[in-house]
Chains A and B, each alone.
Chain A
Amino acid sequence: VKRSAPYRLVRDRLVARCPSDVWREGGITFVVFQLTHSGSSEPTALAAKASAIFALRSGSRELLAARVLAMDGGVPEVTDLISHLGALSRRQGSDEASHTVGSQEDTT
């Protein structure tokens, strides 16, 4: 878990580096970390009293899911860290692309 990109997204917001709970169901291992502070505004679900939940396939350690569950006033808010990473990288890609286009325009 700690080598994964989704973990790096929440690393700065961990209450403790040790997981608060770990268990295995069938072939899946679940690892839960407690998060306290929201830090930057992205992702917005990283608020107080949040949990980061990682699900791994037990044998291969393949990361199946990584979610942040924030209980904001009793209303659960879920952020999918894997999708969030995908969106970030797409945005990064499009930023780079638009920068390149801009450069080309500048040269013409």
Chain B
Amino acid sequence: MESFTFGRYRRNQMRVDATTGGITRRQLLERAGLGSLALAGGGFAPRSELSMLAAGNADSPEAFLVTAFQQRARAMTTGNLALLDGLYDPGSSQLSSFESSRADFYHSGLGAKWHARVLDYQSTPNVVVLGLTSSDAVVRVYETIDVPWIALPRPAPVLSPEAAAWRRESPERCQPAPTGPQGELHTLVGVRHEMELIRSNGQWTIIRDGYNERDIFGASPDFTPGTWSDDGGPGPSVGAESPAAATAMHQRRRFRQMGLCAIDWFSVQSYMETWCSSRNTGYCNYCNTPYCDGDCANFVSQCWSAGNHHWDKYWFCTQNYSCNCHDTPSVAWGGSVPWINVDQQHTWAVNTTGWGSDVSNVTSLLLGDFINYDWTGCGIWDHVAIVHSLDSNGYPLISCHCYDRCAQPWSDGGAAKYRFTHVGTSYPC
């Protein structure tokens, strides 16, 4: 555990596992019965609050962060790298140089990668944890980048007869994504930053910024695998759906109906949009926990469940499972293995229930279908994303957790192998 001394008393580095009096901060709060308070407050600072803090105190690190992220986004939009001048400490030349290359890529390279014309970048930083002294700040920021973009025309996909039939049968599942006045789509990119700021001569500057935009421009030089910024810890949790409400909802869903059950696809999409760049604390969050490998399959299962896909004896949630895949149960709902494991989820959907079937072409996918990704081609499926909607050319846009993305082009940065799975509009129940 790193620690350092400022002023009159010793202060720990801001980490979730920072120790205080021999036990971690998290343990201290939990033992004092304040764990839920930390959870409730541990999510996004509401946007207005951050702005308020920034407006109320121009010298605060929050005010600096708002300015810094906005300037960074403007540099990405305009390609004017001079906007980054002054944001980074002169001693952090490697980071500064990376940021320039990144801004340049966002300005002139992302459009080609997405086959799109990117209109703008809007960055909203949310301070999740902040440790502050008079001259130093250690901060965790969850940044949401709103990317409005227009898909460049490309030939309409050639659909297999089967895929064409699916589109005819389920028009609600092949609607184009909603667009703005210019016909633009909006993709949201969630990025977790572990940052250190330093203040000298009355000015804050960034001396360290660890984050990973794996599917876009890669990891910053300060990124450390296994930390909060790597697939995320509990940062963006917000409890819009309380565990109690979730409990009642889940209890109702336990009663299976006989016959053929339909999915409410509107609710699936709506859930996706609500929670793709945040966390519903009614459910466990499996990002960056020692015994789990991420939250992607959990998120896809939650979306289907929100569309009223009933649970069965294999695919379900329970409070009897822990949120770290290892020890004591939690208040939140943990998932069974087919609920939270990428490959087991596919097996459940395709083999166990027969609800899904693999297809050879991505253009056969509709809202609620899913894509498995094998980043390296080693034969292990690393990731799953759910189809959110289709772009104006009929190609899928996906949403996923860890890394948090909403309505992003389906390739998700590029994998060695993909597996496309279509699920039925209704399912035997």
Residue numbers of A with Cβ under 8 A of B are 16, 18-28, 30, 32, 34, 49, 51, 53, 55, 58-59, 64-65, 67, 69, 76, 78, 80
Q: A23-B25, A30-B25, A59-B52 are in contact. Are A53 and B32 (CB under 8 A)?
A: yes
Number of interface residues of B (CB under 8 A): 34
Contacts of B8 in A (CB 8 A): 18
Bound complex: CA A60 to CA B423 (Å): 49
Which secondary structure dominates where chain B touches chain A?
A: mixed
Partner of A27, one of B25, B32, B46, B131: B46
Contact check, B38 vs A30: say whether CB atoms are below 8 A apart.
yes
Contact check, B14 vs A23: say whether CB atoms are below 8 A apart.
yes
Residue among B12, B14, B32 facing the most chain A CB atoms (10 A cut-off): B32
Answer yes or no: B41 CB below 8 A from chain A CBs: yes
Partner of B20, one of A16, A20, A24, A67: A20
Q: A20-B9, A26-B43 are in contact. Are A59 and B53 (CB under 8 A)?
A: yes
Contact check, A27 vs B49: say whether CB atoms are below 8 A apart.
yes
Contact check, A25 vs B41: say whether CB atoms are below 8 A apart.
yes
Bound complex: CA A23 to CA B372 (Å): 39
Contact check, A78 vs B45: say whether CB atoms are below 8 A apart.
no
Bound complex: CA A58 to CA B21 (Å): 23
Contacts of B46 in A (CB 8 A): 27
Partner of A32, one of B21, B41, B42: B21
Answer yes or no: B34 CB below 8 A from chain A CBs: yes
Contacts of A34 in B (CB 8 A): 21
Beyond A23-B18, A55-B34, 14 additional contacts (C-beta under 8 Å) are A21-B20, A22-B132, A23-B12, A25-B42, A26-B40, A26-B45, A27-B45, A27-B46, A28-B38, A30-B29, A58-B49, A69-B28, A69-B32, A78-B31
